[in-house]
Amino acid sequence: MDALECILSRRSVRNYLDKEVSDKDIETILEAAKFAPSAMNNQGWHFSVITNKDWLAKMSKIIGETFSNPNYNVTYHAPLLIIVSHKDGNLIYDHDGSCALENIFLSARALGLGSCWINQLGEPILYKNPKFMELLKEAGVPEGYRVIGSAAIGYTNEFPLAKERKEHTISYLK
Ligand SMILES: Cc1cc2nc3c(=O)[nH]c(=O)nc-3n(C[C@H](O)[C@H](O)[C@H](O)COP(=O)(O)O)c2cc1C
């Protein structure tokens, strides 16, 4: 797929098929993530790759309870979640992690997969919950790291149309 077509046709997908993503595709997505730019080439991110259904269900339960929405499936039943975490304490780490996440979304699109940024795992209130912290540990998020964002990924039959883009967001000085 042409790079520009990939960028313009990527959409946030919130409905996934019950079909596993292959290890080969996961490796390709992680390679794309690792080749994102990072400030001073820091590459300080960590990628946790989760396909374990029990873990995903537990995470949804904890987040649902925290936000008073017990039936909430935070990852929209996607078969794969990639958590991007980084050392806490510097806004630039959020920028690095966000670049990696966008590479994840675009490479997923190029492979015919849907994806969506899942923000809730970074909510500060969850970091006071020992059950949540235990799940992050199980997922391999290093001690002292904070979740920048995570990517739900999977096959889909849903191809949302792009929402209208706002006008007046660009200025030129020629
Ligand atoms: C920082 C950030 C956080 C987001 N968090 C969520 C989220 O928690 N759940 C969700 O369904 N979508 C989330 N999204 C996806 C946005 O809702 C989506 O990108 C936006 O509506 C535009 O749609 P598009 O991605 O299809 O162009 C997030 C996007 C960004 C950039």
What structural domains does the chain harbor?
18-154 (3.40.109.10)
**DSSP states of 22-65:** PHHHHHHHHHHHHTS--GGG----EEEEE--HHHHHHHHHHHHH
For a pocket test of ligand 1, which of 59, 77, 98, 119 has the largest count of ligand atoms closer than 8 A to its C-beta?
Answer: 119
Whether 5 has a pLDDT exceeding 90, the answer reads: yes
CA 174 – ligand 1 centroid, Å: 33
Q: How far apart are CA 47 and CA 101, in angstroms?
A: 10
Average pLDDT of the residues in 42-61: 97
Q: What is the pLDDT of residue 160?
A: 85
Kindly indicate the confidence band of residue 42, based on its pLDDT and cuts at 50, 70 and 90: very high
Of 155, 129, 148, 116, the C-alpha closest to 22 is 155
- Mean pLDDT over each residue of the chain, to the nearest integer: 95
117 ligand 1 Cβ < 6 A:
yes
165 ligand 1 Cβ < 6 A:
no
Q: What is the pLDDT of residue 71?
A: 84
What phi and psi, each to the nearest 5 degrees, are found at residue 139?
A: -80, -5
Percentage of the chain beyond pLDDT 90 is 90
pLDDT tens for each residue of 28-38: 999 999 999 99
Q: What is the pLDDT of residue 72?
A: 84
Query: Closest ligand 1 atom, CA of 11?
Result: 26
Kindly indicate the confidence band of residue 164, based on its pLDDT and cuts at 50, 70 and 90: very high
pLDDT tens for each residue of 69-89: 888 899 999 999 999 999 988
Q: How far apart are CA 38 and CA 95, in angstroms?
A: 8
